[in-house]
Structure formats: C-alpha cells, structure tokens
Amino acid sequence: MSSLEGKRLAVLGVGKIGEAILRGLFTAGKVKKDQVSGSVASESSRDRAAKKLGIKVGLSNQEAAQGCDILLLSVKPQVMPSLLTDLKSLVSDETLIISVVASMTTEKIQSALGQNCPVLRVMPNTPCLVGEGMSVICAGTYANQGHIELAQELFGSCGKTAVLKESLMDAVTGLSGSGPAYIYLVIESLAEAGVKVGIPRDVSTLLSAQTVLGASSMVLESKAHPALLKDAVTTPAGCTVDGLLELEEGKLRVTLIKAVVKAAERAAQLSP
C-alpha cells in the first residue's frame, strides 16, 4: 500500500515546480485530486492553477494547509519568512514539511516554525512534469527514515531520486535544479546547427532532442563512463573527432563546469 494513501497534501505556491510535481503525482496515480489543496498569491494564478490541475486552489496558506499531513513549500525564497509565519500556528510534530525552496536550510525552517516538525529539503527539477525529474532529498533534525521513504515515493513518481547530505544541496541546485536550462540551450544550439547545414527546423529539433535523450539513456542504462561511450562514436580519422575538437577549442567542458559552480554559488545566496 502506498504510504501516501489517505494523506492530505497542501502545495503552498502552485507555480512552475509545484505544478510539475503535482502533474507527475497525478499521472502516476500516487495521489487523488481531492487529497490536494493549493495556494498562490494572485487571483489570476489561482484561476489558472485550479483550471489546469483540477484541484482546490486559494489565496490563503492557512486555509490550504488546514488539516493536511504533508505541506509542500514551493514559493520563492524571499516569500518563505511570511509563509512560515502563516504556518506556525497550524503545524505540529506530526506535520511533514517538504521544502523545494532553493537555499533555505532545514534548520532555518525548523526554527521559524518553532516546533520539532520533521522537515525535508528537496531539490527537484521541471522534467518532473513528464515523469523524468531528478529530485535530491535531505533530512532535517527531526525527519526519520520513514519520512525520507515517503518523499522518495512522492518524488519517485515523477522521476529519479537521490538522498544526500544537506551541505551539498546548493551544489545540487546548480547541477540538476538549474541543469534543464543548460540542456535546453544545448538542444537549441544543435537544432540551429542542423538548420545551418540544411535540415528543416522541425526535423532538426527532433534530431537534437532525441540525440540528447538517447545519449542520456545510454549513460543511465549502460552505467558506462561517458568518455567510453564517446569513444564508441569517435571513429579514427572520422568526422566526430573533428566536431569534438571544435567543442574543446570552444571550451565547452570548462564552460559547463563554470556554469554549475556559479549557479551553486548563487544558490547559496538566495535565502533571506
């Protein structure tokens, strides 16, 4: 039996990532729509989210969180202080708090709530929307193995999960949290390149995106080092090596490494 069965879930801040997680959960059948309530700040977002997701969405965090077993916090970091103030009188040691908010530590959340609540910090990414998300989970002081397993079930329904120590969460934010944006840039650039060499744009985009998907699947399924898989494409004196040399000259490797480092550094500064 699912440990989510019969649990009431409130998503506080049903924006891009909140919606992606909910869609993944609904598609996987892990929770029913009538188990979920949500909150947003504006009437336009309320109407949009309620219509798109078919759940009850309101403008009051307290109303949405009332009587819920799990509170998923998915607002921007700067909104967290006021959200936690809204929730303080509602939560108990039995309420599981799951925050997907970048930068804010479990310790800060615990102390703002002033309770011994189990708090988990999770860094998902937007491909949760299509069941291919990557979510990294870490636990606060009062969260136990059962809470981690519940989060693995919840986020596992919209992709893969990993459990890491909290000191790595900003690094995770810079890699897999922001990562889809880097890869969209790669896909866009490869598609543009296809157009440059004469391939129709729609076909070129398909070639580019499916190549990224296929290469990712090869890494995940074969568990081989990416360098070995690259060698298998690179025939001596063939064309791939010429393409690789251009990428090395353009410093693709070091540029990607620097992008993750910068984003991770910035992630550490977001929390108010």
- Binding residues for ligand NAP, per CB under 6 A? 12-18, 39-42, 45, 61, 74-77, 79, 82-83, 100-102, 123-126, 177
**Three-state secondary structure along 34-72?**
HHEEEECCCHHHHHHHHHHHCCEEECCHHHHHCCCCEEE
Residue among 177 and 194 whose Cβ is closer to ligand NAP = 177
Residue among 41 and 190 whose Cβ is closer to ligand NAP = 41
Per this entry, what is the length of the chain?
Answer: 272
Residue among 226 and 272 whose Cβ is closer to ligand NAP = 272
What lies within 8 Å, CB to CB, of 24 at 6+ separation is 128, 129, 130, 131, 133, 157, 158, 159
Q: Minimum distance between the CB of residue 159 and ligand NAP, rounded to whole angstroms?
A: 12
Residue among 100 and 117 whose Cβ is closer to ligand NAP = 100
Q: Minimum distance between the CB of residue 98 and ligand NAP, rounded to whole angstroms?
A: 11
Residue among 49 and 96 whose Cβ is closer to ligand NAP = 49
DSSP structure class, residue 6: T
Residue among 192 and 265 whose Cβ is closer to ligand NAP = 265
Residue closest to ligand NAP when measured from CB atoms: 15
Q: Minimum distance between the CB of residue 164 and ligand NAP, rounded to whole angstroms?
A: 15
Q: Minimum distance between the CB of residue 133 and ligand NAP, rounded to whole angstroms?
A: 9
Q: Minimum distance between the CB of residue 262 and ligand NAP, rounded to whole angstroms?
A: 16
DSSP structure class, residue 238: S
Q: Minimum distance between the CB of residue 16 and ligand NAP, rounded to whole angstroms?
A: 4
Alpha helices in 197-251 (DSSP H): 201-222, 226-233, 240-249
Task: Please give the helix or strand (H or E) that residue 80 lies within, else none.
Answer: helix 80-87
| Alpha carbon distance, N-terminus to C-terminus of the chain | 40
Closest CA to 123 of 9, 270, 256, 1: 270
Pairing label, strands 133-139, 119-123? antiparallel
Residue among 58 and 206 whose Cβ is closer to ligand NAP = 58
Q: Minimum distance between the CB of residue 15 and ligand NAP, rounded to whole angstroms?
A: 2
Q: Minimum distance between the CB of residue 13 and ligand NAP, rounded to whole angstroms?
A: 3
Residue among 58 and 148 whose Cβ is closer to ligand NAP = 58
What lies within 8 Å, CB to CB, of 117 at 6+ separation is 91, 92, 93, 95, 96, 97, 110, 142
DSSP structure class, residue 239: S
